[in-house]
Structure 1
Amino acid sequence: MIPEQKPEQKKRLYERRRFQRVNINLLGRFMLENKREYPCQVINMSPGDAAIIAPVGGKLNEKVIAYVDHIGRIEGKIARQFDGGFAVLLNATSHKREKLAAQLTWLANRDILNLPEDRRHDRQEPKISSSRMTLSDGRQYTCRVIDVSLSGAAVSMAVKPAIGTPITLGKMRARIVRHLPDGVAVEFSSIQPMEVIESHLS
């Protein structure tokens, strides 16, 4: 005889079946119950759970609060551990889940539109290319914005901060996501209208 599932087990199974995971690549920071913060990367997510790569792993059922670029604040408990990270079962209201579903749909569609052959339609040369990059420790570097889109920019500069480094490009908060032959690619922490982005970059 198959044992009767507990209500919590039924809920988790229902959540896994209800929500479809989206493969994403979003940077952020998370906090465990010890109140210490660590950088992280969300590699896939649904309105019900998220898989997170992190330098520090927590314990099963430990509470996690994370701030993820383009998503915002999420929280939940560690439901599963894997090599290099863990999966979090999210604790969210129905309204929050609907919002997450809309955000994930937008991110999935953005990734489809940003295939290499289509990227030239999404990116454009800024009207003013000169800018300044500021690191979290206050160091500043003069740079040139090669091209820009709603989600990020390619920047020509003499130094190459490590991938994942939080920076400010002009007045836009961003993170380094890729190294280029003559600079870096950055992803903005929020989506803004193009005219706002250009005014904040210069």
Structure 2
Amino acid sequence: MAAKLKLQLKSVERRRHMRVDVKLLGRYMLADRREFPCQTVNMSPGGLAIDAPVRGDIGERVVIYLDQLGRVEGRIARHTERGFAIQMTMPLSKREKIANQLTWLLNRDALGGAENRSHERIIPLRLRSILRIDGDHEHIVQLIDVSISGAAVATTAKPALGTKLKLGQTDSEVVRHFEGGLAVRFDKLIPIERFDENIKL
């Protein structure tokens, strides 16, 4: 167990400085609880820079909610010409989740087609799920994000495109492979009343 955790830590640390130019809209809250809109400039599993109308103080705690990524938090490390950059203060599990999501975003332009979901994506609180292939082959996977029409999962399994499977209890179909995982399309849209961070597939 200790060896596995050590490998996970090394994996996250290797990707900690993987800075990606990515444009995500969101909102941020300063320490005085004022909220403002923002847009990311670039991001890594250890920090991000945003365009922001109001800068906080260096060292000030900031909470940011980003489309497709959800909540991140940290402290302002430096001011930029159009905003500021933060250093994230989050546990290993959250940094690993962000690293996986950045991998997804890097591959997003190459995905195209039906699985290029226009629906809002969320990161569920229950990250672990089970992928069932052919009814009896099971793989423990980590959810990267979920929309009402599909999901991206981190897994080493590579079932062929078009393979029918279950993600948790949800009937799905493999629509694309990407580095470190795959994208599935649900056979039926998830009812909107079930679609929040507490969702269990």
Q: Which residue of 2 aligns with 1:193?
A: 149
- Aligned residues of 1:69 and 1:190 also touching (Cα < 8 A): no
State the AA in 1 paired with 2:118.
S
Q: How far off its partner does 1:18 sit?
A: 3.9
Structure 1 unaligned runs (5+)? 1-14, 114-118, 124-148, 153-171, 174-188
Instruction: Give the TM-score taking structure 1 as reference length.
Output: 0.53
For 1:33 and 1:18, the matched residues in 2 are separated by 25
Q: Which residue of 2 aligns with 1:108?
A: 106
Aligned ranges 1:22-33 → 2 under 5 Å: 22-33=20-31
Q: Which residue of 1 aligns with 2:38?
A: 40
Q: Which residue of 2 aligns with 1:151?
A: 118
Q: Which moved more, 1:59-68 or 1:18-27?
A: 18-27
Q: How far off its partner does 1:191 sit?
A: 2.6
- Aligned residues of 1:16 and 1:48 also touching (Cα < 8 A): no
- Partner of 2:99: helix, strand, or coil? helix
State how many pairs are aligned. 121
Q: How far off its partner does 1:190 sit?
A: 6.1
State the AA in 1 paired with 2:43.
M
For 1:190 and 1:77, the matched residues in 2 are separated by 28
- Aligned residues of 2:16 and 2:44 also touching (Cα < 8 A): no
State the AA in 2 paired with 1:95.
S
- Partner of 2:105: helix, strand, or coil? helix
Structure 2 unaligned runs (5+)? 1-12, 122-144, 151-187, 193-201
State the AA in 2 paired with 1:97.
R
| Superposition RMSD in Å | 2.8
Instruction: Give the TM-score taking structure 2 as reference length.
Output: 0.53
Q: How far off its partner does 1:19 sit?
A: 2.3
Q: How far off its partner does 1:102 sit?
A: 0.6
- Partner of 1:110: helix, strand, or coil? helix
- Aligned residues of 2:15 and 2:45 also touching (Cα < 8 A): no
State the AA in 1 paired with 2:18.
Q
| Post-superposition CA distance 1:37-59 (Å, at most 9, x none) | 10011121111000111111111
Q: Which residue of 2 aligns with 1:87?
A: 85
Q: How far off its partner does 1:111 sit?
A: 2.7
Of 57, 66, 69 in structure 2, the residue corresponding to residue 68 of structure 1 is: 66
* Greater Rg by CA: 1
| Post-superposition CA distance 1:140-159 (Å, at most 9, x none) | xxxxxxxxx4135xxxxxxx
Distance of aligned partners of 1:60 and 1:17 in 2 relative to their CA distance in 1, 3 Å threshold: farther
How many percent identity over aligned positions? 49
| Post-superposition CA distance 1:113-161 (Å, at most 9, x none) | 3xxxxx4x347xxxxxxxxxxxxxxxxxxxxxxxxx4135xxxxxxxxx
